[in-house]
Amino acid sequence: MSSAEVRTEGAERLQKVMAQAGVASRRASEDLIAARRVTVNGKVAKLGDKADPLVDVIHVDGQRIVTDANLVYLAMNKPRGVVSTMADDKGREAVADYIGNITARVYHVGRLDADSEGLLLLTNDGNLAHKLMHPSYEVPKTYLVEVVGPLPRVVGRELMAGVELEDGLARLDDYRLKQAIDKQALIEVVLHEGRNRIVRRMFDHVGFPVQRLVRTAIGPIKLGDLKAGRHRRLNAGEIAALFKITDRKNRAAAQEDVIREAPEVFED
């Protein structure tokens, strides 16, 4: 069976697909289509068009909508001491132990080492997960770093300029001292690197070993007030924001033909 035949068999009225995705009622979806605010696979849709919710890419006002009801997108606050695997052969607490109420088979997007905590994304959308992890997409990640102070200003300048590690130069995209009290300093850092334990190794290099490391954001997704060990489903706007940041990078990467398989790494 050809791909075209598969799409024809799975196609439904566009307004029905939009309504099932929670965009609006069928009537309101028809109005959106008539107003030329909907595209299917990059082309402006018209009344009477059909779409396959499992294949076609639909945007409303430039925002991609998820039409495959089987896809799951989660944010989790990984506690310290929990390993970033779905099962651990050493019997340690793993991510899967905290999402038992999710029946879909989801996978973690990248990792946090056992001593680190904070935001971890989980999904069964393999295409999006690949893009979020691949270095060519340069998805920024934000961390709160706690070290023993006082912390000289030169440390921030050095990390922003770049430090030479055993596997090459590493630099931060942003560095902000958030708090300095007695012998404790709290710094917010942003970087798009995905190398093994990169934040810890950078601070070790400048003589300030990390005491605590919390990832607070991955691209547009924020940890917020999600409690340790808890998870939540991403809302439509958050999912669309992830598609937007990876679609933008995808166009640039495609022009340079640099898309390759990303290695499995610990990102902090």
Q: Which residues are catalytic?
A: 113
Give CA–CA dist 168/156, Å, rounded.
19
Euclidean distance between the first and the last CA atom of the chain, given in angstroms as a whole number: 45
The pair of three-digit structure tokens given for residue 86, joined into one six-digit string: 């779905």
Backbone phi and psi for residue 31, each to the nearest 5 degrees, phi listed first: -65, -40
Is there a contact between 221 and 75 (Cβ–Cβ < 8 Å)? yes
Quick check: helix, strand or coil at residue 228? Answer: coil
Q: Are 173 and 194 in contact (CB under 8 A)?
A: no
H/E element holding 148? Answer: strand 141-148
Distance (Å, whole) CA 103 – CA 77: 19
Task: Look up residue 168 and give its two tokens.
Answer: 């090459």
Count of residues making up the chain: 268
CA gap 37, 231 in Å, rounded: 33
Q: Residue with structure tokens 């024809």? A: 8
Beta strand residue intervals within 45-137, DSSP E: 50-51, 58-60, 63-65, 73-78, 107-109, 117-123
